[in-house]
């Protein structure tokens, strides 16, 4: 089983158990892929500028992933962005933040198996493989 199969299985399991909303999985993949926010490198800078660089660094590293709270997600991504996603998917903003607090560490960790941010081409390739396995 490949790394992307394992990550896709984890994400599909999260969707099946209600831990993750399917639309938010696609949003996270878009955020990391640069479709909405400049990609993973830009996301790292955003986390760093909001004092949460240690959290995202732990997800990228090969060590233990530090947890992030829904409140921290809202602080880093912005209330407006969280509210926009809530309206788009018919969820409460608190639920969106909670889903994102579960999804972001999983996806980022899975896409950075060697402990560093891959170059843009490798990241896009990984995201494409993941999307194909998710049927997204």
Total domains in the fold of the chain:
1
Q: Tell me the average pLDDT across 2-28.
A: 68
Q: 30-84, pLDDT tens digit by residue?
A: 888 875 456 888 899 999 999 999 999 999 999 999 999 999 999 999 999 999 9
Q: Tell me the average pLDDT across 118-128.
A: 81
Range of the domain at 97: 3-134
Residue 10 pLDDT greater than 90, yes or no: no
- Cα separation, 21 vs 2, in Å, equals 24
Closest CA to 40 of 19, 57, 24: 57
The CATH number covering residue 55 comes to 1.10.10.690
């Amino acid at each position: 089983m490949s790394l992307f199969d394992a990550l896709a299985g984890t994400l599909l399991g999260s969707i099946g158990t209600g831990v993750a909303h399917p639309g938010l999985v696609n949003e996270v993949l878009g955020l990391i892929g640069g479709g909405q926010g400049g990609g993973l490198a830009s996301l790292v800078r955003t986390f760093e500028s909001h004092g949460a660089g240690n959290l995202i660094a732990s997800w990228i590293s090969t060590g233990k992933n530090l947890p992030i709270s829904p409140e921290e997600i809202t602080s880093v991504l912005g209330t407006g962005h969280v509210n926009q996603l809530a309206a788009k998917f018919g969820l409460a903003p608190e639920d969106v933040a909670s889903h994102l607090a579960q999804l972001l560490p999983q996806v980022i960790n899975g896409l950075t198996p060697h402990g560093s941010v891959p170059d843009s081409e490798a990241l896009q390739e990984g995201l494409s493989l993941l999307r194909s396995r998710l049927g997204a």
